[in-house]
Amino acid sequence: MTTLTKRYLLPALLLALMPAAGAVAGDAEAGKAKAVEKTCNTCHGENGVSISSAFPNLAGQYADYLENALKQYASGERKNAVMAQFAMQLTPEDMKDLAAWYASQPGLKTVPMD
């Protein structure tokens, strides 16, 4: 490996593999408390497993997906009158924490392909 490669390519690769600076994970324990406080568990269940097929399961979803969904409900990009009202009351930290809580719960399963 040349000196040039060691000097520039390796640091660039390391930076590319690091999470983005703004991608700070939420606090799952804080999210658990907020799920009760914000009444998320009323529809989505205590651990993110929905009480009814009318509401999506959140357990095991990717945290970034959940956070982005909440942002989209709050902005109106996603359309759901009930979720929009709840999401508009959340801070960015609340969204990260809730996403971390539900993502930390067992839920999604990989289905084997034949």
pLDDT for the residue 113? 67
Instruction: Give SS3 for 81.
Output: helix
What's the confidence (pLDDT) of residue 22?
A: 46
pLDDT of residue 31: 96
| Mean of pLDDT values over 95-103 | 98
Q: Which of 21, 42, 20, 22 is nearest to 92 (CA)?
A: 22
CA 75 to CA 8: how far, in whole Å?
A: 41
Query: Which token pair is 104?
Result: 């930390």
| Cα gap 82→84, rounded to integer Å | 5
Q: Enter the pTM of the model.
A: 0.74
pLDDT, tens digit, 9 for 90 and up, residues 5-54: 556 655 654 555 544 444 568 999 999 999 999 999 999 999 999 989 99
